[in-house]
Amino acid sequence: MGVLMRRTGVGLFMACVLSGAAAAWCQQADFEGARWVWHVPKSGPTLNALPEGTCYFRAGVAVTEQARIVSADLCVTADNLYEVFVNGKPVGGNLSEPDAWNRPRRFDVAALLTAGDNVLAVEAANTARGPAGLLLKLRVVLGDGQTVERVTDATWRCRPDEEPNWAQSDFNDQEWGPASEVAAFGGGPWGRLAVPARAEPPSQRRDAADEAAPPEGYPWPEGLVFVGDDCSLTRSHAHGGTAYQSLDVTIFNPGHTRAFPEHDLPGPMKVGRTLRALAPARPGVAPRVLLDAGSGALGSPSVTFDGRHILFSMVPAGEAFFHLYRIAATGGVPERLTSGPFHDIDPVELPDGRIAFVSTRCGCFEEYHNTPSRALFTMRPDGGDIRRLTTTFIFDNEPEVLADGRLLFIRSDNFFDRGKVETLLHAVHPEGTHGYTEFGLDLGPAYGNRLRAFNCGSPAPLPDGRVAYLTGASVAVGRPGCAQRDLVNLPIAAGDVAALPDGRLVCTTGATGALLRRPKQTKGAPSGFMRIGLADPDRPDGKLVRLYESDGAPLHSPVYRGARPRPPLL
């Protein structure tokens, strides 16, 4: 599910002097005796048809109090994503590469264990329907030469739903069911996997809630515009088996973010009831409602380069289609720009003054579910002379202008020889020519588990030529065309990302989940993203400076309100 998150931070470990036995263990690490496990109901699907979703695992391990712990190596992998905890403390995992199940990790967790009872906990996610499993082996070497081992098997406890404090050692898991053994080590579709020759220290997990205090004289933005009172159509990952199950193939926004998954029919955009302005954009300033759609809905706001107008999409109450509108940056009566039996969304001003947007007016239908395709179009500022810019029989979404004057957008493209799609960040010249895929999966032609593995959304071109964009659980930053290994992944579980003229990023946060879970909320609170923060793309810890926090409904789609340099005209 894409380039998610690389977690880094202050190590939660103590130096440990390896004895001869521990040094020998450096050459002996393996998964022998471990089983691939998952949550599979008794009448559930077969291994090759397991649904996407998240599973939570727990297991106890007792370490004798009669001898000191010399070393403790934990080897782990999962198909596809995972994060490991020991006694409630984060160890690490794979949060960024769904196809890295064949590259296990090995952690030195000696400093996290205690003499007596310990608890291992793992959150694992299957990012697409198909094989899923967790494989783990812990081996502890004691000073008296004894060893203690704990492997994944049916004695582990498991459940598909998250509970508060589930990873803590004092959590009561007696009502959890047993994990299902889906294959022995070496079996299933995975084969035998080698572990690294040396263990790495644990990493400190960083959540979206990590924030930095603004220094004295911090440069706050001139203003922001965002969508309030989120009313987007999203769907839980739980499967209810009802008549509404078909929504799974039409709306699928992981964690309520704007990341588009590799899915047959991804949700076209996030919407809300109100368009709000935060000006000046300072802590303590209350946002002003520029437009209230009432029982209608609006979304995808953008600001013209001169900062004078806001372009957005809206379906007024009683109407059936989204169309494009323009309103003064200070508010007033919106001006309607498009009409007809089409959905027009995602407007953005081009360097020559035209407006590019996404529309279903292309006249073709997605081949699998027969819903209207979405392509890019352009028009004059007054809504006239509408022309088609891109040709696709699937979906193009969220155009943004790059610093070099090209148009970057999310493309759902045909997936090899199958009737499926993959998401890419594609770029074209303002006339639709010279198309290139600038960001996508860095894998060879054999797709296997790469299917639907790349989430991307909310592209944010930076003034220095780089691009920030949303992944399944982080904000990726890189130059167009760069390899995935050269991307910087900021550990921010954001719902949106946008660029400021000075190169900083604006993000919505409020969720702390890293895999497929929905944003954490207190009981009775609405789901979604409640905060707006500012991030420095060159700050590797991904800490945000909090700007605004909603005391009511969730918000999304913040953009800079002010004048910006106009990119060159191609």
| 315-360 residue pLDDT tens | 999 999 999 999 999 999 999 999 999 999 999 999 999 999 999 9
Structure tokens at 408: 């970057």
Query: What average pLDDT does the segment 382-403 reach?
Result: 94
Cα–Cα dist 178/186, whole Å: 22
Determine contact, residues 499/224, Cβ cutoff 8 Å: no
E strands, 393-485, in order: 395-401, 407-415, 418-428, 436-439, 457-461, 467-470, 475-478
Cα–Cα dist 469/458, whole Å: 6
- 3-state class of 49 per DSSP? helix
Determine contact, residues 4/104, Cβ cutoff 8 Å: no
Query: In the 8-state DSSP scheme, what is residue 248?
Result: G
pLDDT in tens, 443-461: 544 444 444 456 788 999 9
pLDDT at 367: 76
Backbone phi, psi, residue 245, to 5°: -55, -30
Cα–Cα dist 567/570, whole Å: 9
Indicate the pLDDT class of residue 304, thresholds 50, 70 and 90. very high
Indicate the pLDDT class of residue 384, thresholds 50, 70 and 90. very high
- Is 60 exceeded by the pLDDT of residue 229? yes
- Cα distances from 124 to residues 36, 69, 191, in angstroms, run 12, 28, 19
Amino acid at site 88: G
Q: How many helices (H) and strands (E) does the chain have?
A: 1, 36
